[in-house]
Structure 1
Amino acid sequence: MMMALSLAWRQFRSHWSAGDLRVLFLALVLAVTATTAVGFFTDRIDGALVRQGGMLLGADLLVSSGKPLPDSYQQEAQRRQLSSTQTMEFPSMVVRGEHSQLAEIKAVDAEFPLRGELVISEQVAAVGVSDTARAADAIPSPGSVWVEPRLATLLDVKVGDLLEVGERQMPVSAILEREASRGGDMFSFAPRLMMNLADVPSTSLIQYGSRVKYQFLVAGDAEQVRQYSAWAQANAGKGERVQDVSAARPEIRSALEKARQFLGLSAMVGVILAIVAMFLASLPYVQRSLDTYALMRCFGASRKLIMQILLWQTFMTGLLGSLLGCLLGYLAQVGLASLAGSLFLETLPQPGWWPVLTGLLLGFLTMLAVVWPHLARLTDVPALRILRRDLGSIDRHHWLSFFPGIAVIAGMIYWHAGSFKLGSATILIFLALLLLIALMAWAGQHLLHRLSDGRGGLWKLGIAGLKRRPGMAVAQVAGFSLGLMVLILLALVRGDLINNWQASLPPDAPNRFIINIQPHQIEGVKAFFADTDIPNAEVFPMVRGRLIALNDTPLDTSKYVDERARRLAEREFNLSWAADMQADNQMLEGRWWTRDEHGQPQLSLELDLADTLGLKLGDWLTYDIAGTQLKVEVTSIRKVEWDTMRANFFAVMPPGLLESFPASYITSFHLPLGNDQALNALVREYTNLTVIDVAALMEQVRGIMDKMTHAIEYVFVFSLFAGLAVLYAALVATREERVREATLLRVLGASRRQVVLAGLIEFACIGVLAALAATLAASALAWYVSALILNIPYQFNLLLAVLALISASLLVPFAAWLGMRGFLDQPPRQLLHSM
């Protein structure tokens, strides 16, 4: 064992000095760096999401119910040494003089919040947050209240004014600028008024039949919170809901998940390219090692000893490359974190050790995947190869050794993708791209061969190089294509895809919702839109209904194992009707109704709801609407883009079915700066309206897109370097053979200029084929990312494709000329001595 280790170390230093291992080592470092950089970054993002999710909940976990919660929740929290607090939320009218406004009252105790903070100010700012804003060091004192700026504006109150809250007259002691626990469903709240929990009984607001949400919040050690969550979910009674940080701000989490998926894809492209570069770089290393091990076999080295030497070399390369990659990955993630850190309320937490372990595992598995196909060749090399150079080449038996390495690479792709669907799609697309590239290379070679027939001179000499190495020519085209593909894809991503992604949330996206619009108020709301020059604002009807039966069988919600499915089945839905499908909806199954089908019992369902509840086309659903049952058939399933912030519905019916039921209306629109007073005047005219301001949420989602755009570009730098490594490795793979050919041509009388031009013609042909394949492959990948990941339309960029084709056709022969300069400047006699 020690002999094998000593010999392995000597050979490792020898190959490193000769340059055989440098490209392979560099590609390995790039693969591990890209993986660990994204791993460290996403680990910090996950930690920040958990912490910020806790700030949005005001705790690590909360239990809510429409009735007082049992004492067992508090007793269990005390047993696990978790901090806890209780709150109450309920709607009530708040009065000041002749003005009244529906408010969402939140009563809290002295321990609130357990996570995050309350930000208060002394006055309402004209725009944004007041300059006097500060973190509160306590909750409202007994007998006083805090109000949100919107409520203060609606009631025209300032700090010190009295408000009538139930039977109490209570002064406003502060303006509530920001509140922990404001995450979750953004349609569940009116303007906020916060008061001390001890004041609730004296207001006489809570009476029999009052709609109150009781909440019990806990925070503490992560493991204890996880165990408490499991206990609470197992012991939750009917109507009691356990909510953790994963449910906070679903719109923001959706944007971050999409960005993280894109980051993972970017890193995965770099890893695949690095593996290709490693394999190409291993070919000359193996060719030189065959002679070394054949000589060792002459001196009696056993197959076992050679295997041990190879495994030790693999371990050394994998360990050193992985450690260096992990170190560079940690340094690289600092740049990523600086790009995204401002998205969160606090600084990003430090990453854990898991990315280091995954980076080391990736490094060793990658080395094993690359080396494994060559182990059989190197361990079985005959001693006779010293005399016969043809011995030790790959045969059919050795080709089978590629499958374990392919399996390892496929496994890494699945792991890196994070989902079976994305991993499978990536593998299939990658294989399809390789097949496309190989077919184009093969067809291109045959076309070039035909074009060279009957020709002489340098053109025929250049094409002859492709004829002598048909397999390597295909491999070089594939390698060049993959490297160039990343360059083209980077330009496409930076130019078209990111712009389209950001355009999916345009600057004029809705930032206000108005709910509780009554039928007689619709004309007044539309007049407000006209007076404030707000275009394309639609008003949609809403009817509350509960699903009670599926295909004439009463709905048993206990059969749903998934908590979200059970919750959806138990809740009331906002049903709506429409003659036409909204423009941002996509029909997936079935069809929309025609004008002649208005009034027929049809239903269009949203895809996620249908999948969660197991509903399909042809199912008959029965809804209970205000005590009346309505039975409808599922005739279509739609895909809805919820993060566009437009009003959308899970369930839509044709006109003529719901008009007889009590309905309210909802609208979403973009309110330009400076029109807040006009909106307040509308609310004063119709006091029942509830306006929901999502401008801050929109800015946060848009900020995520902007920051993640730069993060994605940052990660693609690794893919860029990996692509360049593929280009260089493909040149190195045939360098020795080209040295021999150039030497023979020089000996036979060819000038340096003729040898250079012949080589440039060969590589120009390879470059043209590679550029065509790379352009098609990059466009296909761009379409895949656009359609399947970002869910945005893709348009082929012809100008960029032409520029990429011209640039790539010049880049490859230029790179080849740089690689050939070293040995072309040497005299033929010196080249003969070095062979």
Structure 2
Amino acid sequence: MNKINPNINTASFGWIIKMAWRDGKAGKKKLALFMASIILGIAAVVSIQSFGENLKANIAMQSKSLMGSDFKIDSNNPPNEEVVKIMDSLGGANGKEISFASMAVFPKTGATKLVDVRGIEGGFPFYGVLETNPASAAKTYQQNGGALVDVTAMLQLGLEPGDSIKIGNSKLPVAGALKSAPGSNAIFSNIAPPVIIPYRFIAETGLVQTGSRIKYDYYFVAPDTNLQNLDNSVGKRLDFLDADLDTHTATSDRLGRRYENFGRFLNLVAFIALLLGCVGIASAINIYIKEKLKAVAVLKCLGATRKQTFLIYLTQISAMGLIGGITGTSAGLLLQQLFPLLLGDLLPVEVQMIYSLQIIGIGVLLGILMSVLFALYPLIGTLYVSPLQALRVQTENGTRPRKAAIAVLIGIFLFVLFFSFWILKNWKYSLSFVVGTLVTFAILSGAGKLFMVAVKKYFPHSWGFPIRQSLLNLFRPQNQTLTLVLAIGVGTFLISTLYFTKDLLLAQAALDTRSKSPNIILLDIQNNQREEVGNTIASQKLPLVNSVPIVTMRVNSIKGIPVNTLKKDTTSHISRWILNHEFRVTYRDTLMASEILEEGKWLPQATDMASVPISVSDNFARDAKVGVGDAIAFNVQGVLLNTIVGSIRTVDWSRMQMNFSIVFPLGVLEKAPQFTVMATKVSDEESSARLQRALVQKFPNVSIIDLRQVLAEIENLLDKIAWLINFMAFFSILTGIIVLLGAVRTSKYQRIKESVLLRTLGAKSRQIIKILALEYLFMGVLGSLSGILLSLIASQLLGWLLFDTPFTPSWIPFVILLPGIVILVLIIGLSNSISVIKSPPLEVLRKEVG
């Protein structure tokens, strides 16, 4: 104190910084761990924000390579005369492609596999490359009449270049392994791997038949074209012709939005970790400031003003936030390098890292703002310390003004709200997130307070000394119970909720192995093949679970208004997919188990052919803006069919079975051009392979989908996503651990006198260890159990409101997560207290005084 400016009332800001530095050196160990929690939270936010920006930038830069051209025109039908004229007016297509899913046979092994056949003509891709092994195969496969087969499929089937592949009636040599190609979907490739063949062989396959799901793409190279103007003019004309214009910029925008939404969710997970760290900061500062009250009183005795003493500690906190912001931002920029490894083939492009000054600035600023905001409430207490407190002990240092406290809380609320809006770009979602976070924190805090009140009110006076003393510690002055319950509970809540949500998603897709639910679907069965396919299934001693006829059609008019008129009407609220979609409908006389009749009357048989009553799904009725009794006309492959909405159904689309938006009664579509979908159930891989071989040899046009493989891919995809989400949720757990470490270290200084007193009175080290172990056991169980129970409620709400499926709790969080976190809390708590217990009381007191 001997260097304090004599004229302290007019002391410069430099003096405040010096005082903050000198005072901060003494308490830096107590605050370092809490600063680490801020660093972790900022690292999480910055890493996701920076990676998201990098991903969007890379998608934009590589958008041409993703599509392989500047733009394309695609359709599910061969282009009509008007579409051909439009393409000619654009200079003609530089390349074209026809694609469809089909079964392929590999004669070398006799294996069969569902593949995505892509017949290509011209120099496609015009941007990017077909990456093959050998590399020359990409250039020679068209002239030599070879096939490029997905590299993973070749490894699985034991194929090599020179072997053959049979698609329909066409047999081609395998020219090489296909590593990557523009336009291929990495996720779908796991179910139906891509096979590229020359366009001229498509007709030879004989697979383009009635009901076949064919896609026609025409690629254009026009680097100087204004794509936005082209989309506005040509795109709208093509909409009326059942075709679509897709530019490389529109493709990149769609991909960017898809991954941006996922990034926003991860950002919220990271932001919760940051909020958790801020709770630790507030708790640490509260105890830290209480220890500094005498120093504040002494400064005021020497003439320091309230403002100056306040600024000393505000400067300390700001510096801590600045260091935390810089360190956390640097860690986040390094951490983002892991995301491409975690996401793997979920990413559409290879991401090259670019560092954004905006993200760096936000990370540093976030560290300062969060530290200061959450420290302001305890800091207000320094303004009302009396100089007399330097001479006598006061249990109260004055009451904080209500207005200032409310202003700080409002500031914290607004900051969290605006930051979440910056992430979500939607006020409704932002407010819901903030309210949900407050509710979660409130419930966990309430659980901690309720436990303390219950222990105090129903204190077990008859129990042994160690357990009584440990329970007393939970509600003693300056206890850390609420902070630890929040730290442990929030992390546990996040991990458990994510685990339960993954279970919900898998339960929706899972096949019921105990029932007769089909797990093999046969598509594109022609009318003349129906009986023979059924006989083939029966010959394999397998059940024919169902046989569903399918007719393709388009909406021609709604409520008497033609579709083309509705497309031009900018005031119409009818969804575009209703007007453009080619519907696959069926006819039957009963409802299925996945359907519930909501409105109208189900009619099994048509009686009035002039206006056929149909049943539509609730989402179709909502998007088409129709109700029971409204008229809809369909174009059934050139024939107009007038219908009215007879009933509206709720359909459980999550079930892995054949569901339909539109269902006709019997007696209407039986003679329309159609194909059939059949389903059967196999018990093992061998039965599935045997059936597929038998069907592909006789019926090469029939596509076979093994739903068990689809489910396996869904589970694999969810595992990858869940792994990444859990990786981010781990930040919450890790932040909670650091807050726990800091709380234990801070409370360690509070307990030194208590431990010394107990040992002076004759307590043994073993008893003190038992007291501490029981205390941390209670807090660990309370925090983790509260988090898991809260996650059960959240998961039940998700199942009820979002996924519309019953929620069955898993035992894993209770058996693994709960004891794991409790043991972790015990280890951290005891390891930080063991030095005080082992040292003699006098040595401990001397060390603390020193």
TM-score when scaled to structure 2?
0.73
- Asked if 1 retains the 8 angstrom alpha-carbon contact of 2:487 and 2:737, the reply is no
Cα separation, 2, equivalents of 1:179 and 1:565: 33
* 2:342 corresponds to: 339
Identity of aligned residues (%): 18
Instruction: Map 1:166-185; keep pairs closer than 5 Å.
Output: 180-181=182-183
Q: CA deviation at 1:28?
A: 0.6
Task: Give 1:396's match in structure 2, choosing from 395, 402, 407.
Answer: 402
Aligned mates of 2:768, 2:753 — CA distance in 1: 12
Amino acid at match of 2:583: F
Change (3 A) 1:91 1:214: closer
1:486 aligns with 2:486: no
Aligned residue in 1 for 2:113: none
TM-superposition CA deviations, 1:136-194 (whole Å, max 9, x none): 237845xx8666779844224345xxxxxxxxxxxx99999975345699999999763
Q: C-alpha displacement at 1:281, in angstroms? A: 2.4
For residues 487 and 664 of structure 2, the distance between their equivalents in structure 1, rounded to whole angstroms, comes to: 49
**Cα separation, 2, equivalents of 1:53 and 1:695:** 34
The yes-or-no answer on 1:566 pairing with 2:576 is: yes
The CA RMSD measured in Å over matched residues stands at 5.3
Asked if structure 2 preserves the Cα contact closer than 8 Å seen for 1:60 and 1:218, the reply is: yes
Q: 2:325 aligns with which of 305, 322, 326?
A: 322
SS in structure 2 at match of 1:640: coil
Unaligned runs of 5+ in 1: 76-83, 93-102, 121-130, 160-171, 206-210
Inter-partner Cα distance in structure 2 for 1:530 and 1:178: 40
- Give the equivalent residue in structure 1 for 2:696: 680
8 Å contact 1:558–1:566 — kept in the other structure?
Answer: no
- Aligned twin of 2:94: 86
| 1:693–1:443 CA distance, 2 compared to 1 (3 A) | closer
Q: Which stretch of the first structure deviates more once superposed, 781-790 or 379-388?
A: 781-790
Amino acid at match of 1:522: R
**Match status 1:115 vs 2:131:** no
Deviation for aligned residue 1:33: 1.5
What amino acid is aligned across from residue 476 of structure 1 in structure 2?
A: T
The reply to whether residue 23 of structure 1 matches residue 24 of structure 2 is: no
Q: Does structure 1 retain, via aligned residues, the 8 Å contact 2:492–2:733?
A: yes
Aligned residues: 765
> Which segment is superposed worse, 458-467 or 393-402?
458-467
Quote the residue 2:67 is aligned against.
57
Q: CA deviation at 1:545?
A: 3.1
Q: Cα gap change, 1:274/1:32 in structure 2, threshold over 3 Å: closer, same or farther?
A: same
Q: Given the alignment of the two structures, is residue 728 of structure 1 paired with residue 741 of structure 2, yes or no?
A: yes
Alpha-carbon distance between aligned partners in 1 of 2:791 and 2:293, rounded to the nearest angstrom: 37
CA distance in 2, matches of 1:191, 1:820: 64
1:303-322 → structure 2 map (5 Å cutoff): 305=308, 309=312, 312-322=315-325
- Residues 742-757 of structure 1: pairs in structure 2 closer than 5 A: 742=755
Q: Which whole-Å deviations, capped at 9, do the CAs of 1:346-371 have from their partners, x for residues lacking one?
A: 64332452643443343234224313
3-state SS of paired residue (1:628)? strand
Partner-residue secondary structure (3-state), 2:30:
coil
Contact 2:297 2:389 in 1 (8 A): yes
How many Å separate the matches in 2 of 1:371 and 1:336? 33
Deviations 1:726-776 (A, max 9, x none): 323443554454445556666777676666655555555544543442331
2:528 counterpart of 1:525: no
Is residue 796 from structure 1 mapped to residue 809 from structure 2 by the alignment? yes
Query: Per-residue deviation at 1:402?
Result: 1.8
Helix, strand or coil at the partner of 1:21: helix
2:13 to 4, 7, 13: 4
Structure 1 567/456 Cα, relative in aligned 2: closer, same or farther at 3 Å?
A: closer
Deviation at 1:324, TM superposition (A): 1.5
Amino acid at match of 2:810: N
**1:239 deviation in Å?**
1.7
Task: State the secondary structure of the residue aligned to 2:246.
Answer: strand
**In structure 1, what is the Cα distance between the partners aligned to 2:459 and 2:178?**
80
Alignment partners' CA distance in 2, 1:261 and 1:606: 30
Displacement of 1:29: 0.6
Partner AA of 2:484 in structure 1: G
Cα 1:29–1:47 shift into 2, 3 Å: same
Amino acid at match of 2:329: C
Indicate the residue corresponding to 1:651 in structure 2. 662
Cα 1:659–1:742 shift into 2, 3 Å: same
- Give the match's secondary structure for 2:139: coil
In the alignment, is residue 270 of structure 1 matched against residue 273 of structure 2?
yes
- Whether the aligned pair in 1 keeps the contact of 2:99 and 2:216 (CA below 8 Å) is no
Partner SS for 1:443: helix
Q: Which residue of 2 aligns with 1:476?
A: 481
Q: Go from structure 1 to structure 2 and tell me whether the alpha carbon gap of 1:175 and 1:328 turns closer, same or farther (over 3 Å shift).
A: closer
- Aligned counterpart, 1:169: none
Quote how far apart the aligned CAs of 1:403 are. 2.3
Q: Which runs of 5+ in 2 are unaligned?
A: 1-9, 101-115, 150-163, 209-213
Quote the Cα distance in structure 2 between the aligned partners of 1:579 and 1:781. Answer: 40
| Residue identity in the other structure for 1:8 | I
CA contact (8 A) 1:31 1:325 kept: yes
Partner of 1:601: 613
Distance (Å, rounded) in 2 between the aligned partners of 1:772 and 1:32: 27
Displacement of 1:652 after TM fit?
A: 3.7
Do the aligned partners of residues 293 and 8 (structure 1) sit closer, same or farther apart at CA in structure 2, a change above 3 Å counting?
farther
1:194-222 Cα distance to aligned partner (Å, 9 max, x none): 3599x99xxxx9xxxxx9957343586xx
Asked whether the equivalents of residues 487 and 723 of structure 1 are also in contact (C-alpha less than 8 Å), the reply is no
| Preserved contact between residue 141 and residue 197 of structure 2 (Cα < 8 Å) | no
Q: Distance in 1 between matches of 2:99 and 2:724?
A: 43
Q: 5 Å matches for 1:702-713? A: 704-713=717-726
Q: Return the letter of the residue paired with 2:374.
A: V
Residue type of the alignment partner of 2:182: A
1:404: how far off?
A: 1.2
* Residue in 2 that maps onto 1:168: none
SS of residue paired to 2:586: strand
- What is residue 79 of structure 1 aligned with on the other side? none
1:114-193, aligned counterparts within 5 Å? 114-118=126-130, 135-137=137-139, 140=142, 152-158=166-172, 180-181=182-183
Distance 1:439 1:602, change over 3 A: farther
Report what 1:194 is aligned to. Answer: 198
Question: Is it true that 1:827 corresponds to 2:841 in the alignment?
Answer: yes
Partner amino acid, structure 2, of 1:678: A
Superposition pairs of residues 420-569 of structure 1, within 5 angstroms: 423-452=430-459, 455=462, 458=465, 461-466=469-474, 468-469=476-477, 476-477=481-482, 479-484=484-489, 486-487=491-492, 490=495, 498=502, 501=505, 515-531=523-539, 538-551=546-559, 556-559=566-569, 565-569=575-579
Change (3 A) 1:287 1:267: same
Structure 1 270/190 Cα, relative in aligned 2: closer, same or farther at 3 Å? closer
In structure 2, what residue type is equivalent to 1:774? G
Moved more, 231-240 or 19-28: 231-240
Q: Which amino acid aligns with 2:198?
A: M
Offset at residue 30 of structure 1 (A): 0.7
Aligned to 1:286: 289
Distance 2:836 2:179 in 1: 72
Shift of 1:374: 3.7
Superposition pairs of residues 340-359 of structure 1, within 5 angstroms = 340-343=343-346, 347-353=350-356, 355-359=359-363
Counterpart secondary structure, 1:543: strand
Deviation at 1:631, TM superposition (A): 1.2
Amino acid at match of 1:444: F
Q: Give 3-state SS (helix, strand or coil) of 1:137's partner.
A: helix
Shift of 1:39: 3.2
Residues 542, 574 of structure 1: 8 Å contact kept: yes
CA distance in 1, matches of 2:361, 2:422: 14
Inter-CA distance 340–445: structure 2 relative to 1 (3 Å threshold) = closer
Q: Residue in 1 aligned with 2:371?
A: 367
Cα distance in 1 for partners of 2:192, 2:818 equals 54
| 1:97 corresponding residue in structure 2 | none
Match of 2:625 in 1: 615
Indicate conservation of the 8 Å contact 2:590/2:604, yes or no. Answer: no
CA contact (8 A) 2:384 2:399 kept: no
